[in-house]
Amino acid sequence: MDLFRWLYESSITIGDYQLSWLELVGVFFGLASAILGMYRKMWTWPVGIVGNVLLFFVYITVTFDSADHRAPLFGQSGRQIFFIITSVYGWWRWRQVQRLNDRDASAPVIVPRWARARERVVLAVVMVIGVALVQWLFATIGAGWPAPRWYYWCDAWIFMGSMLATYAMARGWNEFWLIWIGVDLVGVPLLLHSGYLPTAVLYLFYAGFVIYGFVVWLRASRSEAPEIEPEDASAYA
């Protein structure tokens, strides 16, 4: 904890903004994880988990640090925990795909595909219900902090979108990139409004990166042979 505290309190001055080393390192781990994910490398999951842990401490410390005047982001704090849980699932699932398809460790782990109609419906339903419930939860938790209602809706949108995007990535669905675009459209303005400049810049970079990553996955889904998925493995036993 002393190391985390030192990383959080040590900062680089950029104009009027104090950029903590903890936030900067967490952002770079997040960027590295995104790049590895685009190339479908197994390391995307452990690298992403490290970034989630670091950013969790950034957001949770701000929430309870009265000396820090930036807006607390309950969704940003909480979603790091769910990122870790979903990433553990993604890590496990990609390892299963790699084993079932007997892929070399240096090759891309998965072959991306479009989600099926039923899977898309489930994503949409979970998103709508999840945003409605999560915004209410965030508003209840943050009742002592004055904020317009739209703030909690935006935070809930980012929270649910991030969860579903990570899950879709674990399943190897092309929709994963499209969900992230939706998250970025809300996330960048909210983070800038809340004073999280480095993370906002990362999201802004993601906006262009996500489009490129979507093209990469789309080409792979069209050119590479379909894989055996863990859910269908019994049919090949």
pLDDT at 86 over 60: yes
> What is the number of alpha carbons within 13 Å of residue 94 lying toward its C-beta?
29
Q: What is the pLDDT of residue 179?
A: 95
Looking at the DSSP bridge assignments, the partners of residue 14 are 17
Q: Angle at which helices 44-64 and 2-9 pack, to 10 degrees?
A: 70
Cβ partners under 8 Å of residue 136, min gap 6:
152
Distance CA 146, CA 24 (A): 28
pLDDT score of 3 more than 80: no
Confidence of residue 178 (pLDDT cuts 50, 70, 90): very high
Report how far residue 122's alpha carbon sits from residue 124's, in angstroms, rounded to the nearest whole number: 5
Determine the Cα–Cα distance for residues 221 and 162; give it in Å rounded to an integer: 22
Query: In the prediction, which pLDDT does 44 show?
Result: 95
Band (pLDDT 50/70/90 cuts) for residue 229 is confident
Higher pLDDT, 99 or 207: 99
What stretches of the chain show up as alpha helix (H) in DSSP? 2-9, 21-38, 44-64, 74-100, 117-141, 149-171, 175-194, 197-223
Looking at this protein, which amino acid is placed at residue 177?
Answer: W
Q: pLDDT tens digit string along 91-140? A: 999 999 998 888 887 889 999 999 999 999 999 999 999 999 999 988 88
Mean pLDDT of the chain: 82
SS3 13: strand
Beta-carbon contacts of 178 under 8 Å, excluding residues fewer than 6 positions away, are: 214
Higher pLDDT, 204 or 186: 186
Give the per-residue pLDDT at 63: 55
> What phi and psi values does residue 173 have, to the nearest 5 degrees?
-90, 135
Average pLDDT over residues 176-204: 82
Q: If pLDDT is split at 50, 70 and 90, which confidence band does 79 have?
A: confident
Average pLDDT (186-190) is 87
- Assess whether pLDDT exceeds 80 at residue 58: no
Contact present, 77 and 146 (Cβ < 8 Å): no
CA angle 115, 168, 138 (to 5 degrees): 125
Asked if pLDDT for residue 146 goes beyond 90, the answer is no
Q: What is the CA radius of gyration of the chain?
A: 19
Q: Residue 64: its pLDDT value, please?
A: 52
Percent of the chain predicted with pLDDT > 90: 40
Burial of residue 45 (CB within 10 Å: 0-12, 13-18, 19+) is buried
Mean local confidence (pLDDT), 216-228: 89
